[in-house]
Amino acid sequence: MGRLGLTLLVGAVILAALLLVSTIYGTTSIPLSDTFEAILLGTGLVDGDVSPLHRIVFDLRLPRALFAAVIGAGLGIVGVVLQTTTRNDLADPFLFGLSSGAAAGAVFVITVTGDILGFWTLPLAAFCGGLVASGIVLALVHGLRTSAPEKLILAGLAVSFLFSALTNYLIFAGDNRAAHSVIFWMLGGLGLARWETFPLVCAGLALILAYALYRSRWLDALLTGDVTATTLGVPVQSLRFKMFFVAALATAVFVSVAGVIGFVGLMVPHIARGIAGPLHNHLVPTAAVVGAVLLTGSDILSRLMLAPQELPVGIVTTSLGSIFVFILLLRTAKPKR
């Protein structure tokens, strides 16, 4: 077994353990035997009476655990793609306004329109907001007739500030009774995890994973710089646009069901590079596993730290992210002479 296989195997074991812990523990701890029984009953592998306890496991905790793993994996890969294409080690979905746009769409629904389309209203509005934000960024860059990383970052920051201002206005001008829901959603949470939307997040993960692996050699070439990549036959400008669009689409899907979860896309690529190295055929799957482990573990902490009250998972990931950035800065700081 090679190094990549061993890494993925260890990561899968850790992830499986965290998924089990996430399913068992919560406001009420459920015995392991009852947990497995609930999963078997829910999947139809065995027959029997379904109790409220079984419903808690199969309809609430299990989808939430799986959502955390899938979304964490997706955000980790998005971070890898954005950091490579922009050559910026601090790039993540927040830097480009993708999360801000999705947040604005969701807050608009919560404070203004309400659930006019039922259960799908909030995810659909957040998804559309994320696509609008990414469209504006791409239009700005296209208008400048360049795909230079610094221009892409500046355009993303401008769009992020724009949608953040719009979100704050909606919160201030909207129904004050919805403020708690808005704040919790903006800080990230997996309370909307349902089996109905699970195929949606799986599609988001499959999209970014498949495209990143498909273009892994071109991404490797980008590490050498635009000029060298061009001489190697890589259409740098086209690749940068397509990668950003795919990353934006996947991010919009994730944010539409989990809210704004910060720093996962920033931390995971650095951790994964330390394990698998810079080449993307190893880096991308490693980032997926690391991201799944990180967000699943963070979600467990968010549910247990203030139990029975639930802490938004974005607070946990942001706290970890700030510590991570401090460590990163200290490691890269040059000693004074």
Q: Measure the CA–CA gap between 220 and 224, rounded to whole angstroms.
A: 8
Higher model confidence: residue 11 or residue 188?
A: 11
pTM of the model: 0.89
For residue 150, is pLDDT > 80?
Answer: no
Residue 260: both structure tokens together: 């704004």
Task: Tell me the average pLDDT across 123-136.
Answer: 83
Q: Which of 43-57, 149-163, 298-312 has the lowest mean pLDDT?
A: 43-57
Please tell me the predicted confidence (pLDDT) of residue 66.
95
- Per residue in 22-35, pLDDT (tens digit) is 998 877 778 888 88
* Distant-in-sequence, close-in-space partners of 306: CB < 8 Å, separation ≥ 6: none
Joined tokens for residue 162: 């724009």
Place of tokens 């979600």: 299
**Statement: 71-332 belongs to CATH 1.25.40.10:** no
The predicted model gives 298-302 an average pLDDT of 92
Mean pLDDT of 310-335: 83
pLDDT at 199 over 90: yes
- CA quadruple 90, 95, 100, 102: dihedral sign: negative
pLDDT band for position 147 (cuts 50, 70, 90) = low
At residue 119 the predicted structure's pLDDT band, cuts being 50, 70 and 90, is low
pLDDT digits (tens, 9 = 90+) for 56-105: 888 889 999 999 999 999 999 999 999 998 888 878 877 777 778 888 88
* 211: number of Cβ within 10 Å: 20
Domain edges within the chain: 71-332
CA distance 137 to 147: 11
Question: Could you tell me which residue, 116 or 264, shows the higher pLDDT?
Answer: 264
Residue found by looking up tokens 């919805």 in the block:
178
pLDDT at position 125 is: 84
Burial 77-116 (b: 16+ CB within 10 A, else e): bbbbbbbbbbeeeebbbbbbbbbbbbbbbbbbbbbeeeee
Which helix (H) or strand (E) segment is 51 a member of?
Answer: none
pLDDT of 148 higher than 70: no
Alpha helix segments (H runs only) across 44-148: 52-55, 62-86, 98-108, 121-143
- % of residues, the chain, pLDDT over 70: 92
- Please list, residue by residue across 261-287, b when 16 or more beta carbons sit within 10 angstroms of its beta carbon and e when fewer do: bbbbbbbbbbbbbebbeeebebbbbbb
DSSP code of residue 89:
T
Tell me: pLDDT of 336 over 60: no
What's the pLDDT score for residue 40? 81
Contacts (Cβ under 8 Å, ≥6 apart) of 37: 46, 48, 54
Handedness of CA 233, 238, 240, 242 (dihedral sign): negative
> Which contiguous run of DSSP H or E holds residue 33?
helix 32-43
Kindly report the three-state secondary structure assignment for every residue of 293-321.
HHHHHHHHHHHHCCCCCCCCHHHHHHHHH
In this predicted structure, what is the pLDDT of residue 73? 96
The mean predicted confidence, pLDDT, of the chain is 85
End-to-end alpha-carbon separation of the chain, Å? 46
pLDDT-based confidence at 47, cuts 50/70/90? confident
Contacts of 238 (CB under 8 A, 6+ apart): none
Q: How confident is the model at residue 292 (pLDDT cuts 50, 70, 90)?
A: very high
pLDDT of residue 330: 82
Six token digits for residue 114: 């309400």
pLDDT at 175: 66
What is the pLDDT at residue 170?
A: 83
Is 334's pLDDT higher than 70? no
Residue of 255, 230, 245, 234 lying closest to 314 (CA atoms): 255
Helical H runs in 120-214? 121-143, 149-173, 179-186, 198-214
- 182, 209, 210, 215, 216 from 73: Cα distances, Å: 25, 9, 13, 18, 17
